[in-house]
Chain A
Amino acid sequence: KAGVTQTPRYLIKTRGQQVTLSCSPISGHRSVSWYQQTPGQGLQFLFEYFSETQRNKGNFPGRFSGRQFSNSRSEMNVSTLELGDSALYLCASSSLSGADNEQFFGPGTRLTVL
């Protein structure tokens, strides 16, 4: 079974630009969550999508948004980029079946904002 894939793996943008990151979950997984990892704040939850609906949201500004498509693929968008948005963005998928709440992570997209 293929794992979670994220594209692109690396991205360089400048302040004020916007960026869109893509995530394809494990086949059959309907829940996709996004996390931001920075050296200072660690791994922080951004939001979760399930059946094309945002179901949970972390404490990030409205510049961070996402969506999920009918095939469970998800995109994350960050508008008006700031230097502090430089981070590793991780996507995770889960089947959320029964007691198994394990999330499986992709390799991440390394975003650098100059």
Chain B
Amino acid sequence: DQQVKQNSPSLSVQEGRISILNCDYTNSMFDYFLWYKKYPAEGPTFLISISSIKDKNEDGRFTVFLNKSAKHLSLHIVPSQPGDSAVYFCAASATGTASKLTFGTGTRLQVTL
């Protein structure tokens, strides 16, 4: 039972353009959402998070949007840079089990020159 889904296994974007990574969830108890970036042979690196009381959170080039009614969140990277090429995971947690993250399967982003 995949409670957090990233339906696009890969995405290719030109340098300077916007990258949009999508994530859907099914568990209504999830109220905190995070995005992580992962390079091969390294642990995931935290990027940005959003609480369910918000619908948008921005940090530099990264913006996360949350649509609770659709149980959907997205990560926007503007402008995309070659160094952004990595696998991106969305993750979710519920109140009371904040340290129990449920991860999506990841989207591999390739930023081309």
Chain A residues within 8 Å of B, Cβ to Cβ: 4, 31, 33, 35, 42-45, 48, 50, 55-56, 58, 90, 92, 94, 96, 99, 101-108, 110
Chain B: CB-nearest residue to A100: B49
Which one of B12-20, B69-77, B78-86, B102-110 is at the interface?
B102-110
Question: In the bound complex, do residue B44 and residue A105 qualify as a contact, i.e. CB atoms below 8 Å apart?
Answer: yes
Q: Contacts A42-B106, A108-B42 given: A103-B97 contact, CB under 8 Å?
A: no
Question: In the bound complex, do residue A96 and residue B98 qualify as a contact, i.e. CB atoms below 8 Å apart?
Answer: yes
Q: Contacts A99-B51, A102-B49 given: A90-B100 contact, CB under 8 Å?
A: no
Assembled-state Cα–Cα distance A96/B96 (Å): 11
Assembled-state Cα–Cα distance A4/B46 (Å): 13
Question: In the bound complex, do residue B105 and residue A42 qualify as a contact, i.e. CB atoms below 8 Å apart?
Answer: yes
Q: Does B93 contact A (CB under 8 A)?
A: yes
Chain B residues contacting A108 (CB-CB under 8 Å) are 41-43
Chain B residues within 8 Å of A, Cβ to Cβ: 32, 34, 36, 41-46, 49, 51, 89, 91, 93, 97-106
Question: In the bound complex, do residue B43 and residue A50 qualify as a contact, i.e. CB atoms below 8 Å apart?
Answer: no
Question: In the bound complex, do residue B45 and residue A101 qualify as a contact, i.e. CB atoms below 8 Å apart?
Answer: no
> How many A-B contacts are there with CB distance less than 8 Å?
65
Chain B: CB-nearest residue to A45: B100
Assembled-state Cα–Cα distance A25/B46 (Å): 15
Question: In the bound complex, do residue A4 and residue B49 qualify as a contact, i.e. CB atoms below 8 Å apart?
Answer: no
Assembled-state Cα–Cα distance A47/B34 (Å): 19
Question: In the bound complex, do residue A45 and residue B101 qualify as a contact, i.e. CB atoms below 8 Å apart?
Answer: yes
Question: In the bound complex, do residue A31 and residue B99 qualify as a contact, i.e. CB atoms below 8 Å apart?
Answer: yes
Chain A residues contacting B105 (CB-CB under 8 Å) are 42
Kindly provide the distance from the CB of B38 to the nearest chain A CB, expressed in whole angstroms.
Answer: 9
Chain A: CB-nearest residue to B48: A102
Q: Which of B41, B43, B93 is in CB contact (< 8 Å) with A101?
A: B93
Chain B residues contacting A31 (CB-CB under 8 Å) are 99
Assembled-state Cα–Cα distance A92/B91 (Å): 13
